[in-house]
Amino acid sequence: MENTRLKIAVQKSGRLSERSLDLLSKCGITLEKSKDQLLCRAQNFPLDVLLVRDDDIPAFIATDVCQLGIVGENVLFEAQECSENGSFSKLETLIKLGFGRCRLSLAVPNEADYNDLNFFNGKTIATSYKGLLAQYLQNQNIDAKIVTMRGAVEIAPKTHLADAICDLVSTGSTLTSNGLKEVETILNSQAVLIKNSDMPDDLNDICTRLVTRMSAVLKARSSRYIVLHAPINALDEIKTVLPGSEAPTIIPLKGCDKQVAVHAVSEEEVFWNTMEDLKAKGASSILVLPIEKMMD
Ligand code: ATP
Ligand code: ZN
């Protein structure tokens, strides 16, 4: 059907917004106009972007307001944990996006005498992640009271609302500046593309095209193109340290019969010590280039 359009929900403003919109743009999708609108239409792809609060995204997908969304795994798993009628079980992760990395951790005041999880028995823990925390405590056989807070969880111990907190941490600087120390990690999280697994075929086809593009962008992002000159008699040795050396392209160099040019794609970052190893084995003129797009 000509007019079939897929809807994706992304965070309107916050830690995931910029990277989410940037990813769509790297997929060649140009959005029409204002990011202040609730709904932005893509000009050159059958996609509409719904800009909303991240916490609302799982429910929007579960209730068919949209078919796709970009959220932190923390938000997805919390929604699934708290879901009463199982409606969130039809949410499926399509791709891990590699940004928005953080962890859901337990933290206690610096001065607390913490040895192990038993510390939390009989204590009160403040969190915005009641579902995940309750599940974790139950698995660990810890009997603690949970106080739900929507924000500023880190001030709960200072104000005697709670003895400890369970909150998202990335660098840990918020904890430090509030006199808290991280003691246990409950979940490692990153942004993910999620979908409603009951999608009609026509929408699913558009979804597959989008996922193919996103996977290509993500793959290219971590890959590098390596170009170097190698003495022919050192080629085998050089291949042993060359990342992505399964099938390097070997090109003769005009007017030089002792050396060849080697081109290879590495699906991982190339570090300085790899370049030093290559040089030590006789390689020269080593270039490591970013790759913009990549499709198998
Ligand atoms: P909204 O107004 O959309 O509800 P929010 O305040 O809940 O925004 P942000 O603080 O922007 O959300 O965080 C969005 C997501 O970014 C989190 O759910 C989490 O997946 C990820 N994230 C990465 N690092 C951190 C961090 N240090 N603290 C909080 N979230 C983080
Ligand atoms: Zn939120």
Radius of gyration of the chain (CA): 25
Same domain, 201 and 227: no
Say what percent of the chain tops pLDDT 90.
85
Same domain, 170 and 122: yes
pLDDT of residue 245: 66
As a whole number, mean pLDDT of residues 78-101 equals 92
CB of 128 closer than 6 A to ligand 1? no
CATH number of domain containing 140: 3.40.190.10
Question: Which of 199, 220, 241 lies at the terminal end of a domain, its last residue?
Answer: 220
**pLDDT band of 3, cuts 50, 70, 90:** confident
Tokens standing for residue 223: 């890959």
CB of 16 closer than 6 A to ligand 1? yes
Same domain, 7 and 132: no
As a whole number, mean pLDDT of residues 276-293 equals 94
Q: Which ligand is nearest to the CA of 52?
A: 1
CA atoms within 13 A on the CB side of 20: 27
CB of 168 closer than 6 A to ligand 1? yes
State the Cα–Cα distance between residues 23 and 217, nearest whole angstrom: 8
Same domain, 134 and 203: no
- Centroid of ligand 1 to alpha carbon of 46 (angstroms): 28
Q: Which ligand is nearest to the CA of 15?
A: 1
* Residues 131-139: contacts with CB under 8 Å, at least 24 apart: 131/77, 131/78, 131/79, 131/80, 131/81, 131/82, 132/74, 132/77, 132/78, 132/81, 132/104, 132/166, 132/186, 132/187, 133/166, 133/186, 134/81, 135/81, 136/186
Among protein residues, the one whose CA lies closest to atom 23 of ligand 1: 100
- Centroid of ligand 2 to alpha carbon of 55 (angstroms): 5
- Centroid of ligand 2 to alpha carbon of 78 (angstroms): 12
As a whole number, mean pLDDT of residues 46-54 equals 96
| pLDDT mean across residues, the chain | 94
pLDDT of residue 35: 63
Sequential DSSP letters for 140-172:
TT---EEEE-SS-GGGTTTTTS-SEEEEEESSS
Give yes or no for a contact between 134 and 148, defined as CB atoms under 8 angstroms apart. Answer: no
Among protein residues, the one whose CA lies closest to atom 28 of ligand 1: 168
State the Cα–Cα distance between residues 126 and 68, nearest whole angstrom: 31
This prediction's pTM? 0.88
Residue 166 lies in a domain: yes
CATH number of domain containing 254: 3.30.70.120
CA-190 nearest atom, ligand 1: 20
Same domain, 66 and 205: yes
Please choose, from the candidates 133, 126, 143, 153, the residue with its C-alpha nearest in 3D space to the C-alpha of residue 77: 133
- Centroid of ligand 2 to alpha carbon of 1 (angstroms): 35
Residue 199 has pLDDT above 90, yes or no: yes
Give yes or no for a contact between 153 and 175, defined as CB atoms under 8 angstroms apart. Answer: no
Residue 295 lies in a domain: no
Residue 202 lies in a domain: yes
pLDDT of residue 247: 84
**pLDDT band of 222, cuts 50, 70, 90:** confident
Same domain, 96 and 201: yes
Pairing of the two strands 6-11 and 68-72:
parallel
Same domain, 196 and 80: yes
Number of domains forming the structure of the chain = 3
Same domain, 14 and 53: yes
Tell me the pLDDT tens digit for each residue of 229-245: 999 999 999 999 998 76
CB of 277 closer than 6 A to ligand 1? no
Tell me the pLDDT tens digit for each residue of 95-113: 999 999 999 999 999 999 9
Same domain, 169 and 236: no
CB of 75 closer than 6 A to ligand 1? yes
Residue 143 lies in a domain: yes
Same domain, 146 and 157: yes
Q: Which ligand is nearest to the CA of 12?
A: 1
Give yes or no for a contact between 97 and 192, defined as CB atoms under 8 angstroms apart. Answer: yes
pLDDT of residue 260: 96
Question: Which of 138, 169, 189 lies at the terminal end of a domain, its last residue?
Answer: 189
> Which of 12, 19, 20, 54 to probe ligand 1 with, by most ligand atoms within 8 A of CB?
54
Residue 159 lies in a domain: yes
- Containing domain of residue 244, as a range? 223-290
Please choose, from the candidates 37, 52, 41, 32, the residue with its C-alpha nearest in 3D space to the C-alpha of residue 7: 41
Question: Which of 145, 166, 189 lies at the terminal end of a domain, its last residue?
Answer: 189
Residue 296 lies in a domain: no
Same domain, 71 and 116: no
Same domain, 265 and 152: no
As a whole number, mean pLDDT of residues 160-178 equals 96
CB of 100 closer than 6 A to ligand 1? yes
Would you call 256 helix, strand, or coil by DSSP?
strand
Please choose, from the candidates 159, 147, 158, the residue with its C-alpha nearest in 3D space to the C-alpha of residue 109: 158
Pairing of the two strands 91-96 and 47-52:
unpaired
As a whole number, mean pLDDT of residues 22-48 equals 90
pLDDT of residue 2: 55
CA-101 nearest atom, ligand 1: 23
pLDDT of residue 292: 86
